Chain A
Amino acid sequence: MKTLRLFFSALLVGASGTAFAFDIGGLAKGVGERLATDKEKREQLGKGVTGLTVEEEINLGDAVSVEIVARYGGVWRNVVATQRVNLVGRALTRYARRESLDWRFGLLDSDAVNAFSAPNGRVFITRGLYKLLGSDDELAGVLAHEIAHVDLRHAAKIIAGKQGTGAVAGLVAESAGDQAPAALSPATQALEDGVAKLVTGLLTDGYGPGREYDADETAYDLAKVCGFDPNGLRIALNKVEANTAHTKETFNTHPKTSDRLKKLPGGEEKKKGKGK
């Protein structure tokens, strides 16, 4: 069987609680020195250990959402389907760790089979993937995987690591009519760099197999506690695997679907008829 790659990528996210490598909050000036007192520690934790203010995180999440939408065909303005993904998604997020985020779920007008999540809890699923899915259990499995990336703050790796660092300038300059980076204010440039790093890091390097498996496991637990069939993600992945011939995009940074299926919790339970 040819190599099949994972499609549920899951962008960035949950920026709060992560230490951003770009210097939006001034965190890069020396963590140890800045956390010299308990008071300072509390203040830093209040900013989510990121050095980002709420407003900065909102700006970053919003701009990343713009990038996701722009790169995947715009939003599929199907009111019924949008209401459905919001119902199922927010049923799940009632039990998420970051339940208090303003979770929003939308559809992308793309044949690609993929899903993403952005800081602030915006989750997007492509039309191609949505149409592959049948029951609410399957949809819940896919959405729970994206929610898990947010809940587990997997953006930390992209933000803090070296991923995407070399592509920032290219991305910033990619669109015709862009202002030259030098013309931007420091705050605006920081936003540009942050978005570029997140988007590029995700699209080129991804989260890595470990975090994808973690998100799968967390998604299983979340679906289960919410009362959805926890094997919904397994069913969805099987459908993805069976339909990859129709997929336009394959992320070679993700685990093979067959490997994910092997590692998903509940496999043995399923065989014994105890899947739910």
Chain B
Amino acid sequence: MNTQTPLRLLALAAIAGALTTAVVAEPKAGGTVYSKRNGLSLYTAPNSQSAVAGSVGFAEALKISEINPSGKWLNVTAGATTGWVFAGFTAEKKPEDLTRDRLGSVDASSSTTAAAARPLSPEAEQYAARHGKADAGKDVDWVEAEAHKVAPEIVTAYVKENKKGEYQE
């Protein structure tokens, strides 16, 4: 099977080009960024303690009218909604449909939704057994179980308590 066809390589080159963009937006007033979350809150002031002016959907375009001095909050407009959004929740380029990232266990575009613990797939368990690595498979399941105990609410509390992300001062 020759998998290295010119078309495949072209497709890969295009993909590689699309992958070199920054994780977070480097916004400029007058520019546009995109929401990385579904139900992303826009606030009435550049901090997460202010009132919520509205919310926007995943990959929604946000027109920037102002950037606060720290550069971490953007005043944006999406349709009829205007408000401040934490820059870390925006992307320079429109995010692709991440439905396939959600792996069936959670609508993870909302960080407040609890994901179900997901043990190894049956195919991976069989893989581990075929290779005499069933113990490693059990170890992966242990990590999964322990990680699952760190609920999204606990992560949010950590972020808040330690003044990270949108809770930075």
A86 — which chain B residues lie within 8 A by C-beta? 146-147, 150, 155
Partner of A148, one of B23, B115, B132, B147: B23
Within 8 A of A (CB), among B95-133: 95-109, 111, 115, 118, 120-121, 123-124, 126-128, 130-133
A98 within 8 A of B: yes
- Whether the pair A17, B164 counts as a contact (CB closer than 8 A) is no
Judge whether A191 is part of the interface by a CB distance below 8 angstroms.
Answer: yes
Known: A47-B100, A104-B143. A63 touches B128 (CB 8 A): yes
Which chain A residues (115-155) contact chain B, with CB distance < 8 Å? 120, 122, 136, 148, 151-153
Bound-complex Cα distance A3 to B20 (A): 29
Please give the number of chain B residues whose Cβ is less than 8 angstroms from any Cβ of chain A in the complex: 77
List residues of B (69-117) whose CB comes within 8 Å of A's CBs: 72, 87-89, 91, 95-109, 111, 115
Chain B residues 1-55 with CB under 8 Å of chain A are 1-5, 7-12, 15-16, 19-20, 22-24, 36-37
Q: Is the CB of A102 within 8 A of B146?
A: no
In-complex Cβ contact of A75 among B87, B109, B142 (8 A): B142
Decide if B66 is an interface residue (CB 8 Å cutoff). no
Interface residue A32 (Cβ < 8 Å from any Cβ of B): yes
Q: Which residues of B contact A (CB under 8 A)?
A: 1-5, 7-12, 15-16, 19-20, 22-24, 36-37, 72, 87-89, 91, 95-109, 111, 115, 118, 120-121, 123-124, 126-128, 130-133, 135-137, 139-140, 142-144, 146-147, 149-150, 152, 154-155, 158-159, 162-165, 167-168
